[in-house]
Structure 1
């Protein structure tokens, strides 16, 4: 009884995969496969109708001479009618000319005001990160997770050190931005 149920589940799985694959391919792809099969069938009689050379007779004791390979007839390319929206390919060029690249735009000046704004933004983000880490540390200590609490404390100390450096940089950039605006 269990064996029969297993086979039924396997059969249902195979059927589901087959249906899924059938729905996966679009009707256009299936039509393209049918067209390819029809072209193969149409070209098969032409190949069979090609004249064949009779096999040379070999006398007793003689080694058969190596027959030259049959000369292959040039086959015509398959021509497929263009459908609406199809674009014919461009003919290939032996040595195409090198492509011209667009000119590179000059880099915008990174003024002291610009640097000040970026540093202020980074400092604000880092401050929020420190606050989030402090909340996580408090939660970890409340849970009794001392290892996580020490890890978060180390991260907080590092971030506070970075914040101190950024605040000093903001002070310097503020002075430079003031000098820069006074010079203009």
Structure 2
């Protein structure tokens, strides 16, 4: 049996430029770039076997992506929903909870995966996946954090008195040493 070349794919108006831009893109997903190459090569009249050889795919894969483009256009090149049980955990809810400060009773300045997971009733790995998906790093917040120490005002007053020399209880030749617990404070 002789393999006859499949008829060339007819591109829709404006799609050639979009497909060529995808193939040249350095930021597009590799799978999408590969599909764009398949469609462009098919539009140029190459056989399915030749396209498969050039893009490193099976002939069946080439036929499938040609067909999806012909049916759905550019939208057909996007990933389809994956089979399986849908996700029950709402990542948006985890992100929203992360952005609210933890209760003072916990004595912390920001959420950890374990604390937030216990609060929301999910696993710490689930919280970590949500943070990773949205690029959230609560421990690297670039803002001032208030201490949860109830005696902070008294301590700060004493320390400032040492630095300024306004505390009458400090001897004249006292040495002041400072060690910060948090680098941003």
TM-score range, shorter chain: under 0.3
Point out which structure has higher relative CO (alpha carbons under 8 A, 6+ apart): 1
Q: What is the TM-score with the length of structure 1 in the denominator?
A: 0.20
Q: What is the TM-score with the length of structure 2 in the denominator?
A: 0.20
Larger Rg: 1
